[in-house]
């Protein structure tokens, strides 16, 4: 009875195709073992009804697989108002012939707030099911021929697949299906994102009903096989794929060997099995084992071999730090680096033909093939002799008089992104040993300054190439227009091909000294405060001295009102094409700025936090005095009471748009408050008299000499005191 699978499929979505039957056929064609009896209850064949469902469950089957509409307590069956209900599940009398039920139907496993159909199956004391794997909420699925490509349809067949993959514990079966679904789909938890329903599908199948340690279809105590994989040297091998097959050829699963070479298959039925070991898809071992006891240990010797490479140069000397890469089918498979003896061992190669590449400082120096097999290993000693493509180079640095210069740092950069470095000795010599044939760039650094870059071609056959490098010093001095030294100017020297050779910064006296450069054509620039202030070209054949007169001037800025009156206590911001040059608080009506580079400048003047002037000018040798006119106005405000009379001794306050108090004043005997040097803008005017606010208004200052009137809520009050007969009372104090 156990080797029977019942497949129940409906047509839930109409004309697109019978989705339930499509999924069941997919299970039958792809996963069911040949020795299983397949029973199909299909809506389109007229074989699916309540009676046939009850009959097949009572007859016994290992797995009952259903696809169709459902609710918390029912499966929907073909026909109007036809259901398989909780009562039907409770009435099953299949005894101990208990199936695992997997189903794609909405809500039937919703145990959280109702007695669901799944509970009725697993709690039936006279039969029912040993486990129920279904959806706790709405089960989503694709329509028609796409029913198997995702959502509940895919989850349904993956549960069946795990059953026939040999996952004998219920928990392992369920876990495999969930894991495989997650590995093949993106999951998003936001309902408005593309893969939201994939997340819902995983979540809704997250509660299997049944004992997760249940051994499906077994009887008696389970057995286990522990496989210990070792290579030909007896060393454990990590990461092998170990597969276990039954006598009938069914796989019971695959496990990876751990760091000690072990892989364990728990909870299997006693019997005969075949063990296969694979490394990267290549079979490296096969072993037949009979399991009669509860725990079987197998020592699996795999066809994995260690291959030793010895890399030598043309003189037969070992090459250290050569990178050996072994390729299989065009893909990098393994790699190793040669030691001090020029040797490297690549371990655990399965039998195959490999391509071998050897790189030395990122240059290919060998390419070939090897065949790894037990016969080849026994027949030859694997050793690679590197062709003579590695050479020596000697360089000598001399000064203008032809004398060797010691202490010069030479950096060779070639096919690798890191340089070889040597320092010249007292005679100016430096030797580089074992260089791959290639083009090199030689950077020369002397006394901390990068002097020059030269280009050297090391060709095949140049067993010892010797070159001399002649160096000459250059001295630069940078002065301003008044012949005063400019410190901190950056001098950059470029080779004729545009390559930057070296840079230095002038000292406090305007000097910058370059200890030595090669003969040749150069260009140079002087940059000060981020702006180029000079430059030129130079043909170097001997020691040179260069004087640069920089286009740098002094500037005087004066600040005045529109009527010519001086303005003090302003904030100045001066900018050019490089950005802000300076920001300065100026207490006087003028300021001087030294050593400004020739060019176009712009300024902004702020008074009491408000911008009152902005403009631009071209600073040249002739234009070094600039007058900044500031938009500042005077304002007379007259306060009048309700009778139109002036209001003296009232406090007038001016507020900016953001509520900040800007200025204040007290009215004179004419009720007038005068404010001088105000930026033109809108102000909020508040007037207080005897501690009480009597006026508030928003007024705009727009003219140079502006007068404004503001009416105040101030009144005259007359009080007449009389006695009971209405006669006036003289001398009474009124408060």
Task: Kindly state the average pLDDT of the residues 249-254.
Answer: 82
User: What is the per-residue pLDDT for 274?
Assistant: 93
Domains 4-204 and 472-549 share a fold: no
pLDDT band at 257 (very low <50, low <70, confident <90, very high): very high
What CATH topology corresponds to 4-204?
Answer: Rossmann fold (3.40.50)
Task: Kindly state the average pLDDT of the residues 430-451.
Answer: 74
Four-residue CA torsion sign, 315, 316, 321, 325: positive
For the chain, give the mean pLDDT. 85
> Which superfamily is assigned to 223-301 in CATH?
Carboxypeptidase-like, regulatory domain (2.60.40.1120)
Task: Reduce the DSSP state of residue 673 to 3 states and report it.
Answer: strand
**Which residue carries 């069914």 as its tokens?**
250
> Which superfamily is assigned to 633-711 in CATH?
Carboxypeptidase-like, regulatory domain (2.60.40.1120)
Per CATH, domain 305-379 is 2.60.40.10: yes
Task: Kindly state the average pLDDT of the residues 561-586.
Answer: 86
The β-bridge relationship of strands 74-76 and 83-85 is antiparallel
Query: CATH: 2.60.120.10, 3.20.20.70, 2.60.40.1120, 3.50.30.10. Which one for 552-630?
Result: 2.60.40.1120
**Least-confidence region, from 46-60, 80-94, 449-463, 483-497:** 449-463
**Least-confidence region, from 51-60, 176-185, 569-578, 723-732:** 569-578
CA atoms within 13 A on the CB side of 553: 15
Residue 219 has pLDDT above 60, yes or no: no
pLDDT band at 468 (very low <50, low <70, confident <90, very high): low
User: What is the per-residue pLDDT for 51?
Assistant: 95
Q: Where would I find the H helices in 308-399?
A: 374-379
Report phi then psi at 230, rounded to 5: -130, 155
User: What is the per-residue pLDDT for 216?
Assistant: 79
Q: State which H helix or E strand residue 122 sits in.
A: helix 117-122
Task: Kindly state the average pLDDT of the residues 152-169.
Answer: 86
The β-bridge relationship of strands 223-230 and 262-268 is antiparallel
Higher pLDDT, 268 or 12: 12
Instruction: Compute CA 21 distance to the chain's CA centroid, rounded to the nearest angstrom.
Output: 45
- Cα 525 from Cα 532, distance rounded (Å): 7
Angle of helix 151-164 relative to helix 196-204, nearest 10 degrees? 50
> 472-549 maps to which CATH number?
2.60.40.10
**Which residue carries 């028609």 as its tokens?**
144
Among 52, 50, 134, 135, residue whose Cα is nearest residue 100: 134
**Least-confidence region, from 58-67, 362-371, 701-710:** 362-371
The two tokens of residue 722 are: 């009389």
Task: Kindly state the average pLDDT of the residues 622-648.
Answer: 85
User: What is the per-residue pLDDT for 710?
Assistant: 92
**Least-confidence region, from 54-63, 127-136, 418-427:** 418-427
Residue 683 has pLDDT above 80, yes or no: yes
Classify residue 386 by its DSSP letter: P
Task: Kindly state the average pLDDT of the residues 611-620.
Answer: 86
User: What is the per-residue pLDDT for 447?
Assistant: 64
Residue 1 has pLDDT above 60, yes or no: yes
Residue 637 has pLDDT above 90, yes or no: yes
**Which residue carries 């240059």 as its tokens?**
363
Residue 521 has pLDDT above 90, yes or no: no
Q: 121 with 98: CB under 8 angstroms? A: no
pLDDT band at 93 (very low <50, low <70, confident <90, very high): very high
User: What is the per-residue pLDDT for 268?
Assistant: 76
- Cα 265 from Cα 166, distance rounded (Å): 11
The β-bridge relationship of strands 438-446 and 472-479 is unpaired
Residue 454 has pLDDT above 90, yes or no: no
The residues spanned by each domain of the chain are: 4-204, 223-301, 305-379, 390-470, 472-549, 552-630, 633-711
Segment 641-660, tens digit of pLDDT: 999 999 999 999 999 888 88
Stated pTM of the model: 0.38
Residue 381 has pLDDT above 60, yes or no: no
User: What is the per-residue pLDDT for 370?
Assistant: 84
User: What is the per-residue pLDDT for 388?
Assistant: 44
User: What is the per-residue pLDDT for 497?
Assistant: 77
pLDDT band at 380 (very low <50, low <70, confident <90, very high): very low
Per CATH, domain 390-470 is 2.60.40.10: yes
CA-based max dimension of the chain = 148
User: What is the per-residue pLDDT for 379?
Assistant: 39
- What is the percent of the chain with per-residue pLDDT over 90, rounded to a whole number? 34
Higher pLDDT, 67 or 165: 67
Cα–Cα distances (Å) from 628 to 261, 609, 625, in that order, read 85, 17, 10
User: What is the per-residue pLDDT for 400?
Assistant: 61
Q: 704 with 562: CB under 8 angstroms? A: yes
Residue 156 has pLDDT above 50, yes or no: yes
User: What is the per-residue pLDDT for 418?
Assistant: 64
Residue 382 has pLDDT above 80, yes or no: no
């Amino acid at each position: 009875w156990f080797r029977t699978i019942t497949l129940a499929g409906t047509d839930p979505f109409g004309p697109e195709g019978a989705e339930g039957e499509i999924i069941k056929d997919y299970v039958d064609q792809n996963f069911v073992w040949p020795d299983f009896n397949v029973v199909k209850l299909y809506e389109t064949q007229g074989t699916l009804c309540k009676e046939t469902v009850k009959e097949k469950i009572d007859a016994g089957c290992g797995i009952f697989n259903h696809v169709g509409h459902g609710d918390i307590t029912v499966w929907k069956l073909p026909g109007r108002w036809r259901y398989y209900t909780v009562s039907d599940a409770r009435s099953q009398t299949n005894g101990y012939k208990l199936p695992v039920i997997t189903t794609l139907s909405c809500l039937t496993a919703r145990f959280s707030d109702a007695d669901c159909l799944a509970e009725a199956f697993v709690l039936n004391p006279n039969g029912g099911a040993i486990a129920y794997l279904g959806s706790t909420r709405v089960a989503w699925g694709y329509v028609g021929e796409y029913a198997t490509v995702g959502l509940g349809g895919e989850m349904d067949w993956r549960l069946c697949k795990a059953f026939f993959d040999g996952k004998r514990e219920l928990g392992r079966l369920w876990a495999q299906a969930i894991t495989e679904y997650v590995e093949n789909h993106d999951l998003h938890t936001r309902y408005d994102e593309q893969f939201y329903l994939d997340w819902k599908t995983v979540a809704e199948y997250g509660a299997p009903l049944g004992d997760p340690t249940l051994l499906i279809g077994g009887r008696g105590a389970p057995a286990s096989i522990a496989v210990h994989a070792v290579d030909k040297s007896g060393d454990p091998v990590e990461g092998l794929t170990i597969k276990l097959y039954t006598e009938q050829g069914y796989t019971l699963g695959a496990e990876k060997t751990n760091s000690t070479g072990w892989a364990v298959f728990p909870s299997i039925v006693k019997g005969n099995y075949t063990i296969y070991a694979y490394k990267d898809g290549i079979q490296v071992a096969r072993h037949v084992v009979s399991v009669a006891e509860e725990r079987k240990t197998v020592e699996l010797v795999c066809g994995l071999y260690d291959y030793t490479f010895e890399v030598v140069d043309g003189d037969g000397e070992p090459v250290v730090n050569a990178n050996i890469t072994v390729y299989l089918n065009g893909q990098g498979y393994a790699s190793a680096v040669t030691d001090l003896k020029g040797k490297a061992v690549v371990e655990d190669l399965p039998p195959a033909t490999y391509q071998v590449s050897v790189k030395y400082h990122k240059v290919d120096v060998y390419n070939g093939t090897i065949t790894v097999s037990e016969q080849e290993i026994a027949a030859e000693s694997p050793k690679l002799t590197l062709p003579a493509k590695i050479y020596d180079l000697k360089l000598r640095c001399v000064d203008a008089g032809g004398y060797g210069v010691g202490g010069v740092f030479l950096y060779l950069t070639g096919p690798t992104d890191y340089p070889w470095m040597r320092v010249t000795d007292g005679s100016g010599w430096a030797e580089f040993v074992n260089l791959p044939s290639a083009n090199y760039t030689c950077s020369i650094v002397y006394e901390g300054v990068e002097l020059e870059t030269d280009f050297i071609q090391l060709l095949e056959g140049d067993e010892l190439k010797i070159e001399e490098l002649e160096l000459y010093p250059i001295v630069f001095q940078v002065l301003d227009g008044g012949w005063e030294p400019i410190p901190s100017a950056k001098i950059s020297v470029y080779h004729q091909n545009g390559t930057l050779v070296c840079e230095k910064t002038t000292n406090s006296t305007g000097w910058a000294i370059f200890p030595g450069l090669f003969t040749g054509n150069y260009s140079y620039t002087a940059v000060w405060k981020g702006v180029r202030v000079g430059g030129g070209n130079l043909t170097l054949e001997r020691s040179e001295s260069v004087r640069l007169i920089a286009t740098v001037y002094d500037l005087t800025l004066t600040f005045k009102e529109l009527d010519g009156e001086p303005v003090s206590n302003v904030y100045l911001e001066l900018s050019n094409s490089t950005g802000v040059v300076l920001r300065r608080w100026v207490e006087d009506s003028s300021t001087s700025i030294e050593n400004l580079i020739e060019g176009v400048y712009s300024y902004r003047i702020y008074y009491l936090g408000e911008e009152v002037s902005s403009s631009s000018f071209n600073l040249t040798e002739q234009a070094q005095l600039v007058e900044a006119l500031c938009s500042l106005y005077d304002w007379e405000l007259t306060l009048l009471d309700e009778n139109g009379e002036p209001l003296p001794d009232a406090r007038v306050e001016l507020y900016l748009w953001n509520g900040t108090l800007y200025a204040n004043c007290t009215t004179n005997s004419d009720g007038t408050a005068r404010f001088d040097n105000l930026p033109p803008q809108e102000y909020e005017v508040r007037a207080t008299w005897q501690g009480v606010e009597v006026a508030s208004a928003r007024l705009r200052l727009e003219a140079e000499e502006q007068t404004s009137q503001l009416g105040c809520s101030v009144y005259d009050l007359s009080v007449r005191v009389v006695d009971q007969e209405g006669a006036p009372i003289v001398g009474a104090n009124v408060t």
